[in-house]
Amino acid sequence: MLELQHIKKYFTVGDTTTKALDDVSVAFRSQEFVSILGPSGSGKTTMLNIIGGLDKYDSGDLIIDGKSTKTFADDDWDAYRNNTVGFIFQNYNIINHLSILDNVSLGMTLSGVSTSEKKQRAQEALERVGLKEHISKKPSQLSGGQLQRVAIARALANDPQILLADEPTGALDTQTSNEIMQLIKDLSKERLVVMVTHNPDLAHQYSDRIIEFSDGKIQNDSRPYQERDDETHFQLVRTKMSFWTALKLSFTNIKTKKGRTFLTILASSIGIISIGIVLALSNGFQKQIDATQAETLSQFPITISQVTADQKQMQKTDSTATNSQQNFAHNTKLTAKANQLTAAQHLNKITPKYLKYVQKIKKSDSKNIAYTYTTGLNLIRKVDSQYRPVSFATTTSSSSESSSAQSMFTSNLGVGGSVYPVDRNNQQSFLKKNYHVLAGSYPKNNHEVVFITDKQNNLNLDALKNLGFNFKDQQKITPKQLLNTNIKVVANNNYYQQLPTGNFVPSKNYNQMGSAASTINLKIVGILRTKSKNSDGLLSSGVAYSDRLTKEVIQENKNSKIALTQKQSTNNVITGSPLKGMEGALTLTALGATKMPNSIQIYPNNFKEKNKITDYLDKYNKHKSKANKIIYVDLAGNITSITGGLMDAITYVLVGFAAISLVTSMIMIAIITYTSVIERTKEIGVLRALGARKKDITRVFDAETTILGVGSGILGVIIAWLLTIPANVILANLTGLSHVAKLNPLHAIILIIVSTILTVLGGHIPARIASKKDAATALRSE
Ligand SMILES: Nc1ncnc2c1ncn2[C@@H]1O[C@H](COP(=O)(O)OP(=O)(O)OP(=O)(O)O)[C@@H](O)[C@H]1O
**How far is the centre of ligand 1, averaged over its atoms, from the C-alpha of 78 (Å)?**
22
Q: Is the separation of the CB atoms in 348 and 620 below 8 Å?
A: no
Residue 189: C-alpha distances to residues 65, 185, 228 (Å):
18, 7, 21
Nearest CA to ligand 1 atom 24: 40
**How far is the centre of ligand 1, averaged over its atoms, from the C-alpha of 779 (Å)?**
12
Q: Is the CB of 216 under 6 A from ligand 1?
A: no
Give the pLDDT of residue 23: 93
Give the pLDDT of residue 58: 95
Q: Is the separation of the CB atoms in 106 and 263 below 8 Å?
A: no
**How far is the centre of ligand 1, averaged over its atoms, from the C-alpha of 21 (Å)?**
10
| Location of each CATH 3.40.50.300 domain in the chain | 2-239
**How far is the centre of ligand 1, averaged over its atoms, from the C-alpha of 219 (Å)?**
17
**How far is the centre of ligand 1, averaged over its atoms, from the C-alpha of 45 (Å)?**
7
254: β partners: none
Please report the atom of ligand 1 found closest to the CA of residue 774.
Answer: 1
Q: What is the pLDDT of residues 324-359, one digit of tens each?
A: 556 787 888 887 877 766 667 778 888 888 888 988
User: What are the helix (H) ranges across 360-460?
Assistant: 429-434
Give the pLDDT of residue 402: 39
Residue 650: C-alpha distances to residues 286, 410, 656, 744 (Å):
11, 42, 10, 18
Give the pLDDT of residue 143: 92
**Mutate which of 42, 211, 773 to test ligand 1's pocket (most atoms within 8 Å of Cβ)?**
42
**How far is the centre of ligand 1, averaged over its atoms, from the C-alpha of 140 (Å)?**
30
Give the pLDDT of residue 233: 67
Rounded Cα distance between 492 and 506, Å, is: 9
* Strand, helix or coil for residue 572: coil
Could you tell me how many residues make up the chain? 782
**How far is the centre of ligand 1, averaged over its atoms, from the C-alpha of 41 (Å)?**
5
**Could you give the ipTM of this predicted complex?**
0.95
Q: Is the separation of the CB atoms in 663 and 762 below 8 Å?
A: no
- More confident site: 605 or 682: 682
Amino acid symbol at 395:
T
Amino acid symbol at 225:
Y
**How far is the centre of ligand 1, averaged over its atoms, from the C-alpha of 8 (Å)?**
13
* Maximum distance among all Cα pairs of the chain, rounded to whole angstroms: 150
Give the pLDDT of residue 410: 36
Please report the atom of ligand 1 found closest to the CA of residue 13.
Answer: 4
Nearest CA to ligand 1 atom 5: 11
Amino acid symbol at 60:
G
Nearest CA to ligand 1 atom 28: 41
User: What are the helix (H) ranges across 417-530?
Assistant: 429-434, 461-466, 479-482, 492-495, 510-514
Give the pLDDT of residue 722: 94
Q: Is the separation of the CB atoms in 698 and 769 below 8 Å?
A: no
452: β partners: 528, 542
Residue 618 sits at the vertex; the CA angle it makes with 613 and 619, to the nearest 5 degrees, is 100
Rounded Cα distance between 266 and 466, Å, is: 73
Q: What is the CATH number of domain 2-239?
A: 3.40.50.300
Extract the runs of DSSP E, i.e. beta strands, from 256-376: 302-305, 307-309, 345-347, 368-372
**Mutate which of 11, 16, 35, 37 to test ligand 1's pocket (most atoms within 8 Å of Cβ)?**
11
Q: What is the pLDDT of residues 286-318, one digit of tens each?
A: 777 777 766 666 667 888 888 777 766 665 555
Q: What is the pLDDT of residues 644-659, one digit of tens each?
A: 677 778 888 888 888 8
* Strand, helix or coil for residue 275: helix
Nearest CA to ligand 1 atom 29: 41
Q: What is the pLDDT of residues 618-640, one digit of tens each?
A: 898 888 888 888 888 887 766 66
Rounded Cα distance between 157 and 180, Å, is: 17
Rounded Cα distance between 641 and 354, Å, is: 28
Q: Is the CB of 39 under 6 A from ligand 1?
A: no
Neighbours of 561 (CB within 10 A): 15
pTM (2 d.p.): 0.62
Q: What is the pLDDT of residues 558-597, one digit of tens each?
A: 888 888 888 888 888 888 888 776 677 777 777 877 777 8
- 545 burial (CB, 10 Å; 0-12 / 13-18 / 19+) is buried
pLDDT tier at 154, thresholds 50, 70, 90: very high
Please report the atom of ligand 1 found closest to the CA of residue 48.
Answer: 18
When the pLDDT of each residue in the chain is averaged and rounded to a whole number, the result is 84
**How far is the centre of ligand 1, averaged over its atoms, from the C-alpha of 762 (Å)?**
35
Q: Is the CB of 20 under 6 A from ligand 1?
A: yes
Report the DSSP pairing between strands 378-383 and 209-214. unpaired
Rounded Cα distance between 174 and 201, Å, is: 11
Q: What is the pLDDT of residues 702-757, one digit of tens each?
A: 888 899 999 999 999 999 999 999 998 998 888 877 788 888 899 999 999 999 99
Q: Is the separation of the CB atoms in 367 and 605 below 8 Å?
A: yes
For residue 88, the Cα-to-chain-centroid distance in whole angstroms is 53
Give the pLDDT of residue 408: 36
